Amino acid sequence: MSRNVLVTGGASGIGLALARRFAPAGDRVILADLNDAAGQAMAKELGGSYRHLDVADESSVEANVAAIEDEIGAIDVLINSAGLLQNAAQTESFPLEEHDRIWAVNYRGSYLMCRACAPRMAKRGPKRGGGAILNIASINSFTPLPLPAYTPTKAAIGSLTGVLAGEFGPSGVRINAVAPGFTLTPAMQSRIDSGDRDPVGMEGLSTLGRLVKPEEVAEAGFFLCSDAASAITGVNLPVDCGYMAAISYNTYPS
Ligand SMILES: NC(=O)c1ccc[n+]([C@@H]2O[C@H](COP(=O)([O-])OP(=O)(O)OC[C@H]3O[C@@H](n4cnc5c(N)ncnc54)[C@H](O)[C@@H]3O)[C@@H](O)[C@H]2O)c1
């Protein structure tokens, strides 16, 4: 069955890599983003469609989800990749407006999207395969980095994934997350270019000694949304080049 796959943040980075994984598999991708020029261009390239959607805005989420289901059909897969990265900051000097914006997009945005889509999937039940949701968490779900807004949003997304998996599991809807390590997306590249991230330092923190590629996150996400993962729900799967495995090793001399 060709699935309708809605990808927030689909114009760039991990969201775009996921769309690029689903489209050749025969699925219909709907990219949703604030970056209209890139979103429209990528949707055209993938033979899909594009919607201007602000995940932090409840009315934008509700209107777009309703319109997609009216005009295209049931959303079978939801991918919540819209998100904002953060530079390292000290809590005392970190602007509260920036803190709140990161929470609004990363956590509340994922929550609003799940709230709009999961009940619709649940009502349809197993008729269309049950429905699947993929949240994009982070290694920050498990270990803290010096990012006083970003890190807690990703811990919360990991928690939300489990909460919703429990609520919607009886209706056959599966809800999982991937937890990428340092991934070379446009957002990460711009931080490297501005000197806010050190690529060599990040590479050295993973046991595989390199950054994650967006396509590697996409491959794991595609699996979690596929029938091959039909018994898997509520997990937050690290795709981190062994970042967490390497932590304790880095404390011993080699
Ligand atoms: N790059 C990494 O190292 C990394 C690691 C772990 C998790 N992540 C997560 O992956 C996700 C994607 O990040 P990325 O690195 O691909 O970034 P990116 O900037 O390349 O892509 C993010 C996309 O989200 C869109 N977006 C931002 N705010 C939005 C909003 N309010 N509504 C709709 N779209 C919006 C942007 O326009 C952009 O197209 C984020 O949730 C991020 O936290 C990234």
List the one residue out of 103, 131, 135 whose CA is nearest residue 117. Answer: 131
Which residue puts its alpha carbon closest to atom 14 of ligand 1?
13
| Residue 150 is among the residues annotated as catalytic for this protein | yes
Region class of 125: left (phi > 0), else alpha (psi between -120 and 50), else beta: left
List the one residue out of 228, 217, 218, 239 whose CA is nearest residue 174. Answer: 228
Atom of ligand 1 nearest to the CA of 140: 6
**Predicted local distance difference test score (pLDDT) of residue 24:** 97
Region class of 234: left (phi > 0), else alpha (psi between -120 and 50), else beta: left
- Total domain count, the chain: 1
- CATH number, domain of 178, equals 3.40.50.720
Q: Could you report the per-residue pLDDT of 71-117, keeping only the tens digit for each?
A: 999 999 999 999 999 999 999 999 999 999 999 999 999 999 999 99
Residue 88 belongs to what domain range? Answer: 4-251
Least reliable range by pLDDT among 8-17, 128-137, 223-232: 128-137
Q: Could you report the per-residue pLDDT of 71-83, keeping only the tens digit for each?
A: 999 999 999 999 9
33 in contact with ligand 1, CB cutoff 6 A:
yes
